[in-house]
Amino acid sequence: MADIIDELIRKRGFASRIFRNREVLHPDYIPDTLPHRENEIRRLAEHLLVSAQGMRPSNVLIYGLTGTGKTVVVKYVVSKLKEKASSLNKRLDYAYVNTRKLDTTYRVIASIAQSIGLRVPHTGLAISEVYRRYINALDSWGGLHIIVLDEVDYYVKREGDDLIYKLVRANEELSKAKIVLIGITNDVNFVENLDPRVRSSMGEIEMVFPPYNAEQLFTILKQRAELAFNQGVIEDGVISYCSALAAREHGDARRALDLLRVSGEIAEREGAERVTIEYVKKATLEIEEGRIYQSVVTLPLHQKLVLKKIVELVEAKESTTTGEVYTAYSNIMRNLKYEPLSLRRISEIISQLDMMGLIISEVVNRGKYGITRIIKIRKDMLPVIKDALKDVEA
């Protein structure tokens, strides 16, 4: 039956010339094999199996730069173990919580409880009550519950470590069931600054995921491309070009996959038959513009006002200085009847904008006129920054 429908889709011109299955390039897709992460998979799975056999479970803290496969490895291991456990008649289940997205303790504990089938209302219960119900339900179920807390640094910075510490100690209250925590973060400073008590109990086992090199990224991309694209549409050299670009940026597989996906999308949009290196170059620019746009729209108000003034000054005469920016900014604040921030604060804001890659600033020594900072904006980024600031009235 599927063939008839596929044929109709093709005939009607719905089918993509470029993509066979775009989903495969989505960040949530879990491939059947994860090349270059065999050791990490083995170590994590072995540890969880030992815990499932009745040993006292140790918690795991995983860290590494963004796009090094932390999330996909953990999801791969826990879902495979759950699948195997049910065929072996063992009780093993897991909760996967992205604590940046589920941003309150209530939502986190509710989601953990729901993963073992408990019904928890969206609001209305005390956190301690949800926790108590979860522990009771867990003990009557009596298996190994793996709790994955992804982007755990966001949670701890916002809500503190009470819930984590409670979960760590929950095994003392449980008679039949057991809990293992797996924390994931890409913030090494977070791990180093974690309360030593929490670090030692949460990270009894620490795993560091190294960045991928260009060759490793090549294998990862090749595997995905074979599933995602129609045969023969990827021009030779495209995959190694994407891998080299992403390797240069710190070995981020997410970045490499995004580049490939966006290159394919642009090729399709432009009605091309093949994805060429030219499309990868266009994709690099499109992704960078997206990143710049996002960072501008999420800036706080004063930063936006300062950037807006820089844009106006740079458009009038190519470059500007801290002094000119400060004058323009103070005038606008006076017109709006607000107290302007100090020159020092504005100078700090200019440095922040520079660090974010939104402006380029250079300190120059002008002899007897003293030291000043020359500020510019990349010409190709100017339209994107202006667009992102279009709602700022000043």
Ligand X SMILES: Nc1ncnc2c1ncn2[C@@H]1O[C@H](COP(=O)(O)OP(=O)(O)OP(=O)(O)O)[C@@H](O)[C@H]1O
Q: How far is the CB of 249 from ligand X (least distance, A)?
A: 13
Q: Applying CB under 6 A, which of residues 10, 23, 27, 315 lies at the interface with ligand X?
A: 27
Least gap, CB of 217 to ligand X (angstroms): 9
How many of the chain's residues bind ligand X (CB under 6 A)? 19
- Closest C-alpha among 134, 59, 138 to residue 91: 138
Residue 260 or 350: the one with the smaller Cβ distance to ligand X is 260
User: Crossing angle for the helix pair 238-248 and 277-297, nearest 10 degrees?
Assistant: 40
Residue in the structure block whose two tokens are 């990827």: 234
Is 27 or 160 the residue whose CB approaches ligand X more closely? 27
Strands 178-185 and 371-376: unpaired
Cα(374)–Cα(367) distance, integer angstroms: 15
Task: Give every strand in the sheet of 360-365, ordered side by side.
Answer: 320-321, 371-376, 360-365
Nearest to 213 by CA among 238, 191, 245: 245
In DSSP notation, 272-295 reads -SSB-HHHHHHHHHHHHHHHHHHH
**105 belongs to an annotated ligand binding site:** no
Q: What is the DSSP letter of 340?
A: P
Burial status of residue 202 (CB atoms within 10 A of its CB: 0-12, 13-18, 19 or more)? buried
Cβ proximity to ligand X: between 41 and 125 the closer is 41
| 97-101: long-range contacts, CB 8 A cutoff, minimum separation 24 | 97/147, 97/148, 97/149, 97/150, 98/150, 98/151, 99/149, 99/150, 99/151, 99/152, 99/154, 99/155, 100/150, 100/151, 100/154, 100/155
Count of Cβ atoms closer than 10 Å to residue 7 Cβ? 11
Q: Which residue is nearest to ligand X (CB)?
A: 69
Q: Which among 130-138, 237-245, 252-260, 273-281 is the span making contact with ligand X, rule CB under 6 A?
A: 252-260
DSSP label at 349? H
* Residue 182 C-beta: closest distance to ligand X, Å: 12
Candidates 181, 207, 253, 341; binder of ligand X (CB under 6 A) is: 253
CA-to-CA dists, residue 281 to 127, 264, 266, 268, angstroms: 50, 12, 10, 15
- Report whether 212 belongs to an annotated binding site: yes
Nearer to ligand X (CB atom), residue 66 or residue 330: 66
Chain positions 256 to 275 lying near ligand X, rule: CB under 6 A, are: 257
> Binding residue per annotation — 70?
yes
**How far apart are alpha carbons 256 and 261 in whole angstroms?**
9
Of 257 and 353, the one with the shorter C-beta distance to ligand X is 257
**Tokens read off for 284:** 């690099």
DSSP string, 205-251: EEEEEPPP-HHHHHHHHHHHHHHHB-TT-BPTTHHHHHHHHHHHTT-
What mask of x and - would describe binding to ligand X in positions 91 to 130, judged by CB under 6 A? ----------------------------------------
- Given the complex with ligand X, which of 103 and 278 has the nearer CB atom? 103
Residues 210-249 that bind ligand X (CB under 6 A): 220
- Residue 284 assigned ligand-binding role: no
Please check if 71 is assigned to a binding site: yes
Range 176-215, binding ligand X (CB under 6 A): 186
Residue 96 CB, nearest approach to ligand X (Å):
12
Q: Is 72 annotated as a binding residue?
A: yes
Q: Does 330 bind ligand X (CB under 6 A)?
A: no
Nearer to ligand X, 8 or 188 (CB): 188
Query: Per the annotation, does 317 bind a ligand?
Result: no
Residues 28-87 that bind ligand X (CB under 6 A): 31, 34-37, 64, 66-72
- The whole-angstrom separation of Cα 54 and Cα 339 is 64
Would you say 16 or 66 has its CB closer to ligand X? Answer: 66
Known binding residues for ATP: 68-72, 212, 224
Q: Which residues bind ligand X (CB under 6 A)?
A: 27, 31, 34-37, 64, 66-72, 186, 220, 253-254, 257
Per the annotation, binding residues are: 68-72, 212, 224
